[in-house]
Amino acid sequence: MQGTDENNSKKKHVPIQESGINMIDLAGGEMLKHEAMRRQSMGGGLYFRRLKERAVEFLDHGGYLSVIGKNNLFPAEKNAIEEIYPRLDSEICGNGEKRSDV
Asked if residue 100 belongs to a domain, the reply is no
Residue closest to 13 by CA, chosen among 49, 48, 45:
45
Q: What type of residue is 13?
A: H
Residues 54, 34: Cα–Cα separation, whole Å: 21
Predicted TM-score of the model (pTM) = 0.74
Name the domain count of the chain: 1
Asked if residue 88 belongs to a domain, the reply is yes
User: What is the domain range of residue 55?
Assistant: 2-93
Confidence check: pLDDT of 101 > 50: no
DSSP per-residue string spanning 34-70: HHHHHHHHTT-EEEEEEE-HHHHHHHHHTTHHHHH-G
Asked if residue 23 belongs to a domain, the reply is yes
Confidence check: pLDDT of 4 > 70: no
* Poorest-pLDDT segment among 28-32, 40-44, 56-60, 80-84: 80-84
